[in-house]
Amino acid sequence: MDKFIAHILVVDDDDGIRSLVKKYLNENNFLVSTADNAEDASKKIEIIKFDLIILDIMMPGKSGLEFLKEHKTKLDTPIILLTAKGEASERVEGLEIGADDYLPKPFEPKELILRIKNILNKTVKTEQVRIIEFSNIKIDLNKLMIIKKNDEFKINNTEKIILEKMINNPGKTFSRENIGNLINLDKERSIDVIITRLRKKIEIDPKNPKFLQTIRGAGYVLWIEWFFKKDIT
């Protein structure tokens, strides 16, 4: 079976925990987005369809439980709660509202990974393998297709190989040499043409790319969290 790339949202107001969890998940080949409060998380779930959410209960402003109450009825995404040891009543309430699991802090990274995998093994369908959704864009590597708003664009196998590698390494810069090695092509100009072609399929404005960006003097990067660096109104 093709490798499934799960996209996980980590919601926690603690910068240290948020960064560590993202690091653990990235090391285990998950695509990760983060939010430092419930309001930020609400904006992101409107843009991206996540495969799982890791949600801290105690946060300033709107709590994790309030976020859960607000969204769970219209959200089919599995949720793991992060709780403090003394939050037994909140854990119970969270499970009653619809959370799928919980993990008390502090926790072992391996246990978190196992719980995530157990949930995803139960919820991810075979036909969902290698489908990434963000903004108004869906990349379906199974069907070799990109859907942008209401337009469909076919991608060839070369484009698929590049996208798959970039999706597996979000935020990583790939030099022309890296890309050339992936697709057995050593002509830089040809690689630029392929990237330009992909931009036309992914970007709303290919001349001003927001997702598939050029890093001057270094190469190209797929940055699907561009929205999250700005306020969303």
Q: Which residues pair with 82 in a beta bridge?
A: 56, 103
Q: What percent of the chain is predicted at pLDDT more than 90?
A: 46
Query: Rounded to two decimals, what is the model's pTM?
Result: 0.61
Whole-angstrom distance, CA of residue 56 vs CA of residue 67: 10
Q: Domain for residue 150, yes or no?
A: no
Contact predicate 58/64, CB 8 Å: yes
Question: Which range, of 43-57, 112-126, 156-170, 211-225, averages the lowest pLDDT?
Answer: 112-126
Q: Domain for residue 146, yes or no?
A: no
Backbone angles phi, psi at 43, to 5 degrees: -65, -40
Domain of 61, in residue numbers: 7-128
| DSSP summary character for residue 2 | P
Tell me the mean pLDDT in the region 130-159: 86
Same domain, 84 and 22: yes
For 99-108, what is each residue's pLDDT tens digit?
888 888 888 9
Same domain, 41 and 105: yes
Same domain, 117 and 165: no
Mean pLDDT of the chain: 85
Same domain, 170 and 216: yes
Q: Per the structure block, which two tokens stand in for 223?
A: 């940055």
Tell me the mean pLDDT in the region 29-55: 91
Tell me the mean pLDDT in the region 72-94: 80
Number of domains in the chain: 2
Whole-angstrom distance, CA of residue 2 vs CA of residue 160: 13
Same domain, 124 and 185: no
Whole-angstrom distance, CA of residue 45 vs CA of residue 219: 30
Determine the pLDDT at residue 5.
75
Q: Is the pLDDT of residue 233 over 50?
A: no
Tell me the mean pLDDT in the region 7-11: 95
Q: Domain for residue 37, yes or no?
A: yes
The terminus-to-terminus CA distance of the chain in angstroms comes to 40
Whole-angstrom distance, CA of residue 66 vs CA of residue 60: 11
Q: Domain for residue 16, yes or no?
A: yes
Contact predicate 141/128, CB 8 Å: no
